């Protein structure tokens, strides 16, 4: 017996078997409890790790599914736009595709609407020409605002923004003369 236990026994704090009179439990039970607590903590940590890994796998699978669906939807959307706007066939197909991809990048919901996406493609090609088509920063901002409103982000009254989104090109490029 160690000196602390001997002192406790002489003081009457331990019975003849070395059990604590105050706690009423043998010291071996303390180590058994400690082992079980340690095992339980280990199991909890392993379970938490497995749940986190499963969540990561599920999230990753969802993203893969979304990318796969988007890769299937893109040609369908492009063909629908070309059918709705047959005059786009007169332009360089590579440039039309480039502008459509930009619109789709900033606002996938708008690109899914063949009338809207075709109108924007026509306007961009008319303003910038086929040589250097581009999406102006102001146009990109409008497209992302439209996407945010459609996808349930920050809600804004649709009619309040209607004037801004009717002519998606910046005012200084639309050819209109404002006083």
Q: What number of other Cβ atoms are within 10 A of residue 114's Cβ?
A: 18
95-125 residue pLDDT tens:
999 999 999 989 888 889 999 999 999 988 8
- 3-class state of residue 179 by DSSP: coil
Q: Are 119 and 85 in contact (CB under 8 A)?
A: yes
What average pLDDT score do residues 49-67 get?
79
Percent of the chain past pLDDT 70, that is, above it, reads 66
The answer to whether the beta carbons of residues 21 and 12 sit under 8 Å apart is: yes
pTM more than 0.85: no
Q: Which two tokens stand for residue 100?
A: 């459509």
Q: Give the 3-state secondary structure percentages of the chain, helix then strand then coil, rounded to 5.
A: 75, 0, 25
98, with CB counted inside 10 A (0-12, 13-18, 19+), is middle
Q: How far apart are CA 23 and CA 14, in angstroms?
A: 10
Q: Does residue 30 carry a pLDDT above 80?
A: no
């Amino acid at each position: 017996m160690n000196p602390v236990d001997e002192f406790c026994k002489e003081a009457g704090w331990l019975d003849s078997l070395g059990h604590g009179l105050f706690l009423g439990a043998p010291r071996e039970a303390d180590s058994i409890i400690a082992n079980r607590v340690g095992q339980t903590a280990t199991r909890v940590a392993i379970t938490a790790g497995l749940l986190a890994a499963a969540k990561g796998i599920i999230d990753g699978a969802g993203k893969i599914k979304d990318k796969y669906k988007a890769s299937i939807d893109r040609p369908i959307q492009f063909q629908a736009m070309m059918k709705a706007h047959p005059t786009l066939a007169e332009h360089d197909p590579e440039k039309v595709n480039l502008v459509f991809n930009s619109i789709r990048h900033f606002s996938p919901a708008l690109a899914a609407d063949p009338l809207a996406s075709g109108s924007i493609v026509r306007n961009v090609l008319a303003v910038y020409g086929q040589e250097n088509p581009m999406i102006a920063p102001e146009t990109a901002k409008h497209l992302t605002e439209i996407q945010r409103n459609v996808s349930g982000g920050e809600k804004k009254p649709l009619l309040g923004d209607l004037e801004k989104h009717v002519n998606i090109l910046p005012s200084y490029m639309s050819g209109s003369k404002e006083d």
